[in-house]
């Protein structure tokens, strides 16, 4: 059977970069570093050391997918969001607490939970977890309305959290808004 070739423009994908194979609908996520859903065939770098194009092969149907649009993604402006080191009240390897800020203005707190033996066992049918790796993050934005956050501003926060805590994917990141002592669940980063 002859392999088909498809092109996917990453700038047209909503969410955290996940997309379905154009041939077999296999879900392909950039967070999957295990190469269970796809294999990287070739990467092409641009003039200024940015990723210009990537060629991957779907592990389900073996068709070739050309990924384009990396240049536009690399041009996203630096939003100045920072996550602190673990706060003293953290329990290393179990749950860590961090402050999150933007240009020295406090936005709230990030709570990161790490996989324990029982989590690895409970999730083994759905996801490959390693003991001690981050598997859930809760971002609590305090008085987000005061900070003038819009829904589109939340995706860069999720990106910073994912980058800071390797192993997290968008579906692991929950965003909560706290205002006047009341908490309102905004949702998962994968739904933004």
162 and 186 share one domain: yes
Intra-chain end-to-end CA distance of the chain, in Å: 39
Number of domains in the chain: 2
Residue of 90, 94, 113, 122 lying closest to 161 (CA atoms): 113
pTM of the complete model beyond 0.75: no
> Which residues form the domain of 125?
81-191
- pLDDT of the chain along its 192 residues, tens only? 578 999 998 878 876 678 899 999 998 887 777 778 899 899 887 655 567 788 999 999 999 999 987 765 554 444 678 899 999 999 988 999 999 998 888 889 999 999 999 988 888 887 777 888 998 999 999 865 555 566 667 888 888 898 888 888 888 999 998 888 888 888 888 887
Residue of 155, 156, 124, 119 lying closest to 134 (CA atoms): 119
94 and 177 share one domain: yes
Residues 6+ apart with CB under 8 A from 131: 115, 116, 117, 120
Residues 6+ apart with CB under 8 A from 125: none
69 and 9 share one domain: yes
């Amino acid at each position: 059977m002859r392999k088909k070739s498809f092109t996917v423009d990453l700038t047209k994908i909503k969410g955290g970069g996940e997309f379905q194979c154009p041939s077999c609908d296999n879900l392909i996520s950039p967070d999957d570093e295990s190469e269970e859903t796809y294999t990287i065939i070739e990467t092409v770098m641009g003039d200024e050391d940015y990723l210009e194009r990537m060629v991957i092969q779907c592990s389900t149907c073996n068709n070739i997918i050309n990924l384009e649009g990396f240049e536009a993604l690399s041009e996203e402006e630096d939003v100045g969001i920072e996550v602190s080191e673990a706060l003293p009240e953290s329990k290393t390897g179990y749950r860590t607490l961090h402050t999150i800020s933007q240009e020295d203005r406090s936005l709230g707190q990030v709570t990161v939970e790490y996989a324990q033996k029982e989590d690895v066992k409970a999730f083994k049918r759905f996801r490959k977890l390693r003991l001690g790796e981050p598997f859930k993050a809760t971002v609590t934005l305090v008085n987000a309305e005061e900070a003038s956050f819009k829904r589109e501003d939340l995706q860069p926060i999720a990106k910073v959290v994912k980058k800071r805590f390797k192993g997290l994917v968008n579906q692991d990141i929950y965003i909560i808004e706290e205002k006047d002592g009341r908490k309102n669940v905004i949702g998962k980063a994968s739904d933004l």
